[in-house]
Structure 1
Amino acid sequence: MEDPAQVSKFSEPFNDLASGIISIPINLPGTPFRRGIKAAETVRKELMGIIKQRKIDLEEGKVAPNQDILSHMLLATDENGQFLNELNIADRILGLLIGGHDTASASITFIVKYLAELPHIYNEVYNEQMEIARSKQPGELLNWEDIKKMKYSWNVACEVMRLAPPLQGAFREAIHDFTFAGYSVPKGWKLHWNVNSTHKNADYFPEPEKFDPSRFEGNGPAPYTFVPFGGGPRMCPGKEYARLEILVFMHNVMKRFNWEKVLPDEKIIVDPMPMPAKGLPIRLFPHKA
């Protein structure tokens, strides 16, 4: 995609899109499904303009063929040498934007929430981030080596995603007959799997309601017990991007601010992802120089 400013203009329709995707498919005025359709049309229209301009830029050599996934899609061909059509590309980019927007923003929101509630955790993250900040020259940006040093910060983010996973579950199809908990499940059945079936299972996470980033030290949890990004061949391809986005956010905010929740007892709702009911208003306190 283009620079972040272009992506940010899509932020407003994304909530309607996400709500529409999981809503009852009733296409009537005022329903989440109708709002989702209209939001998709709005974003798709913007994407088509970006795609057409990118095709021109590629032809004129103004951008590199390997610049980003949009360029790759425009240049990719199928087994018959045919290019993807523009609408197909727009829909694929739309899917990537939806998948990468709400999930990351939900995770970041809960990181802010838990750090406000747990000052000892905040202090540990702050110390790690400030050690990295002090190693940089004025104006020097973070690099991949800095990201790899943020081990405790990422453990905290993982513990947040264990307790408040942005995606609560998914439907999967049984690929063969099997028995689970005394029930026979035939091949072809669609099963709804909830991440909390393992994330809050005391067999894998002792004291599951306790916030404990040390769970992710060393080899971390047993395979397929911590699955905010799924697992196996269908693991989310954006996992490393999400890690980068979350850690860069944590670094840049925490080296500047501490904060407190304005509404200490704010409730959590699910619409369509878990989020604080009032948007988690906070009060920022700049660090003293």
Structure 2
Amino acid sequence: MADIMEDIMALLTPELLYSTLFLIILSSLLIIARSVNPRKGKNVPPGKLGFPVIGETIGYLKARKANKGKEWIEKKVKKYGPVFKTSLMGCPTVVLTGQAGNRFLFMNDYSNIFTKHSTRSVTKIFGRTSLLELPVEEHKRIRSAIMSFLKPEALQKFAAKMDSVIRRHFAECWEGKESVNVWPLMKSLTFQVAADLLFGLTDRQETEILGQEFAKAVKGLWALPIDVPGTSFRTCLKARANICATLKSLLEEKRRDVAQRGASPRQDLMTWLLTMRDENGKTLTEEEIIDNMIVLMIAGHDTTAILLTHLVRTLALNPHVHQRILKEHKEILQGKQPNEPLCWEDIQKMKYSWKVAQETLRLTPPVFGGFRTTIKDLEYEGFTIPKGWQLYWVTSPTHRSEEVFKDADKFDPSHFESQLSPYNFISFGAGPCVCPGYDFAKMESIIFLYHLISKYNWSLMIPDEKITCDPLPIPVMELPIKLQSLTTSE
């Protein structure tokens, strides 16, 4: 018990400890009823549920914060096997690992055996009508609307615009600097790109304020869902309320642009969602648009910021990979003027650059895992998973598997030179609900790499800098680097 108390103190401020313990005691009977009665007489997977309410959440969050989530999962798999039970975020949870577990979860996303319903904290931040919460038919309807805007043939016309935003970022934030902290710059850059292309929001001050609110909201994705004054969860809920108010105002502005000035529906994603109709003539509600814009903004900038940050770090540690990307760029861009923007065709040819990005995602996935919730008893690998329990998928059992990737802990872009079997690389999910922003992220990361490598050499100021996951894997000192302009070094 002493160890548990120490872990709680590490994750909660002292003034919140008593209120947390009070809620634990108050909720114990309810949680016991949920976690014990449904499994009575059933062959549930092996494992332990831990303490009432908190289950094994504190130990798991402590491991994640120390960037030891992979080790936490491995320890459980070694003890119980590839399917095991635990209790996370106040709910009995079955963790399914490996390719078989990934296939079962992702292939059945459009079945009627579980829902995408997430933890309470995630639901409160993203909203009840987001893609992470909707039943099958509604999910298909909204995902189809988003995909029609983000599909490759539709994204082509945004390549030059994205190139311009990234080019301006380097001119304003990197040029003339001897050193920079990469993580906050990547947060700023990816938020500006997403705000521009998804919202049509170009005002710097408004974008910066909105970005700060999103940063507060993201911290609540793995917060204990305790809504009392002073908790991080309460801070996140306030941030969501501020985001919703801003997006509602922006939505009204888009309506006026379309109605009064005939603005093109394809000028940005928000306008597209506002004006689109399905085959039955049904439009999206304001709540559906706002909830899903929040999901897309977080997915479209936070996860990409993680990827770009670790690309900078990885290339500094692997100069031979840096040189090969530079060679690829020179071969593809022969004859182009120095300030000529990248076009869609250029981006599609940069195949090695994308393999480097994929390998970075394999070793440092921005999203470690995700939840589903059963809507009836399930049978899997000889076990019964009761109705109402969570299912949890995680990346590391396949991303770090020696059976899937030779020398799995080594950074090697050649891991992606041959076609991988399905459901082994799941940084973008898999199956019918694969991330709709895949091509958006690919385009942004390749354009960023091109401008970074064509303009600078750099080195890490803290080569062995630690990574913390709170909830995203970021360098604890924000990845400071020394810069050298290529015009100077050459």
On whether the aligned pair clears a TM of 0.5, the verdict is: yes
Partner of 2:222: 22
| Secondary structure of 1:209's aligned partner | coil
Q: Distance in 2 between matches of 1:185 and 1:129?
A: 53
Q: Look up the match of 1:233.
A: 432
| 8 Å CA contact retained: 2:333, 2:346 | no
Displacement of 1:176: 7.2
Question: Match of 2:445?
Answer: 246
Q: Secondary structure at the match of 1:260?
A: strand
1:81-160 counterparts in 2 under 5 A? 83-160=283-360
How far off is 1:9 after superposition? 4.2
More displaced 10-residue stretch of structure 1: 125-134 or 236-245: 125-134
**Is the 8 Å Cα contact of residues 170 and 194 (structure 1) preserved in structure 2?**
yes
1:186 Cα offset (Å): 3.0
Structure holding more helix per residue: 2
The higher radius of gyration belongs to 2
TM-score under structure 1 normalisation? 0.91
Structure 2 residue 424 is the aligned partner of structure 1 residue 261: no
Superposed CA RMSD in Å reads: 2.2
Per the TM alignment, residue 30 of structure 1 is displaced from its structure 2 partner at its CA by 3.1
Tell me which residue corresponds to 1:196: 396
Q: Within the alignment, does 1:50 sit opposite 2:250 as a pair?
A: yes
- Counterpart code for 1:96: L
In the alignment of these two chains, the number of paired residues is 286
- Residues 138, 60 of structure 1: alpha-carbon distance in 2 compared, 3 angstrom cutoff: farther
Query: 2: CA distance between counterparts of 1:248 and 1:135?
Result: 18
> Which residue of 364, 368, 383 corresponds with 1:184?
383
Q: Report percent identity of matched pairs.
A: 37
Instruction: Please say if 1:282 is aligned against 2:481.
Output: yes
Kindly indicate whether the alpha-carbon contact (under 8 Å) linking 2:275 and 2:283 is maintained by their aligned counterparts in 1.
yes
Q: Flag structure 2 segments of 5+ consecutive residues without an equivalent.
A: 1-198
The unaligned stretches of length 5 or more in structure 1 are none
CA-CA distance at 1:17 after TM superposition: 1.0
Structure 2 CA distance, aligned partners of 1:49 and 1:284? Answer: 40
**C-alpha contact (below 8 Å) 1:14/1:102 kept by paired residues:** no
Which range moves more in the overlay, 53-62 or 205-214? 53-62
Secondary structure (helix, strand or coil) at the match of 1:22 reads coil
The answer on whether the counterparts of 1:65 and 1:71 sit within 8 Å (CA) in structure 2 is yes
Task: Quote how far apart the aligned CAs of 1:270 are.
Answer: 0.3
Residue 286 and residue 134 in structure 1: after superposition, are their counterparts in 2 closer, same or farther (change >3 A)?
Answer: farther
Distance in 1 (alpha carbons) for counterparts of 2:208 and 2:398: 34
- Residue from 268, 293, 311 that aligns with 1:68: 268
The structure 1 residue matched to 2:421, chosen from 222, 236, 241, is: 222
Match for residue 366 of structure 2? Answer: 166
Change in CA separation of 1:283 and 1:23 when aligned onto 2, cut-off 3 Å: same
SS in 1 for 2:383: strand
Q: Provide the TM-score with structure 2 as the length reference.
A: 0.55
Distance 2:281 2:417 in 1: 48
Matched, 1:2 2:206: no
* CA spacing shift, 1:186–1:257, aligned 2, 3 Å: same
Q: Retained in 2: the 8 A contact 1:130–1:255?
A: no
Question: Aligned to 1:242, what secondary structure does the other structure show?
Answer: helix
**Structure 2 contact 220–233 (Cα < 8 Å) conserved:** yes
CA pair 119-79 structure 1, distance change in 2 beyond 3 A? closer
Residues 97-132 of structure 1 show CA distances to partners (whole Å, capped at 9, x for unaligned) of 112111000011111111011111111112222334
